[in-house]
Each structure stands twice: as C-alpha cells, then as structure tokens.
Structure 1
Amino acid sequence: MIQAFHDLTAELLAVLEDMTNAEREDKIRKITELIDRRDEVLAQIKPPFTAVEQQLGRRTMLLNQQVDSLLMLQKQEIQRDIQEINKKKKSSNKYTNPYESLSIDGMFYDKRN
C-alpha cells in the first residue's frame, strides 16, 4: 500500500510540474483524480511498518511537501486569474452602463408657476 501511495504521489508531482495553461482544465481534472485515488490508498495504510516501508514513507513525505508547494502555486495562479476576470467584468459593466454607479442624493424643485 505504501508503494502505491508513493507511486501516486510521484505521478501527481509529475503532473503538477508539467502545468501549461493550454491544457489546464485537463490537468486539473487529472490532479483531482490522483488526489482522490491517493486518499483511498491512504485510508488503507495501517501500521506496523517494515524498515523498507518506513524508508519509503519518508521519501513519500518529501515528495508530498513538493506537491503541497506546487498545489499552493496553482491555487494562487487560479485566484489571480479569477481576480483578473472580475476586474474585466467590472470594467465591461462600467462601459455598458456608465451611470450605474452614480448616486442621486439631491433633488431639484422648480417653484415657477
């Protein structure tokens, strides 16, 4: 089980290191699938562990740290893209309806009869 978890972690790391914007949605789908499979395998890992399994576990933890940092970078990139889209949307709305944000706080009365 630890070997399967290690292999999935290594595969996930390879996918994360090969991120390109052109294939981003497919990569995100693949990342999600690998994370789900890792969770299933992780639930099946139970002690006691042999010395070989402990060594493999340590290497897997190092890989997992790299995975975590790359996932954080991807999250930041996606958040930046969302902010950029929101700015464009706001700018587009101001262009299509420039008087939307004006506040009317006074009135004019014509007292001529």
Structure 2
Amino acid sequence: MIRESLTEWKKVTELLTRILDVREEEKRESVIEQVDKLIMKREELQPAIQAPFTDEEQAFGEKLLPLEKILQAKLKVYLKDIRLDISEQQKKKVSVNAYMDPYNQVYRDGTFYDKKK
C-alpha cells in the first residue's frame, strides 16, 4: 500500500510540469502564482514522506525520480526566461533614457568640445 502523501506528491509534481509548459508572457503571473501554491503544497507533504518505505513505495519513488528531473529542468528554463525578460526590460530602459537625453552618456576627458554650429 502506497502512502497517500506519495501519491499526492506525484499528482502535484505532474501538475507542476504541465503548468510550466505554459510559456505565454500574458499568463506568466497566474502561472507563477500556481507554481508557488503547488511548491508550498509539496513542502507540506514532504514531512509525511519519511523512511521506512515498503518495497512498493520504494519502486514508486524510483518512478518519481525522472519526473523530478523533468520538473527541475522546466523550472530552470522558466527562471531563465524570466531573467532574460528582466534583462531585456533593463536594456530597453537604458536605451529609452539614452534616446531622451543623448548627451548624458558623453564622457568628458578634459578635451574641449565646441558647442557652436
């Protein structure tokens, strides 16, 4: 007999992997909220999953390991996408500021620049 906490862990993990497949930027906030809730649920389930395990639970756990690796990979990709979007936003901000004030980034090295035309 497999413990209910293990089967619930598997369900939550599978749901997480499906949710992380949504890569649309418009839905990112809701995806992040759902991921956060599911990770919190996994943290609540974790104390209930303690040794000793039966042979059946051991085999069930070994089937969960590849699923965990897939989840970790998808989380890394999602985090990478978020970091990429943040860096793009920062670049846009810098370029907009440079466009609005083009002389702000002019380096003064002691040479004279004639401002008359």
- Please report the TM-score for the alignment, with normalisation by the length of structure 2: 0.83
Distance 1:40 1:101 in 2: 52
Selected match of 2:107 from 85, 92, 103: 103
Percentage of identical aligned residues: 31
RMSD of the TM alignment (CA)? 1.5
Partner of residue 79, structure 1: 83
Alignment counterpart, residue 47 of structure 2, candidates 40, 43, 55:
43
Partner Cα distance (2:83, 2:61) in 1: 32
Q: How many residues of Structure 1 are paired with residues of Structure 2 in the alignment? A: 108
Gaps of 5+ in 2: 113-117
Deviation at 1:62, TM superposition (A): 1.1
Q: Which has the larger radius of gyration?
A: 1
Shift of residue 44, structure 1, vs aligned partner: 2.2
TM-score, structure 1 normalization: 0.86
Q: How far apart are residue 25 of structure 1 and its match?
A: 0.8
Q: Deviations 1:40-63 (Å, cap 9, x if unpaired)?
A: 111221111112211221122111
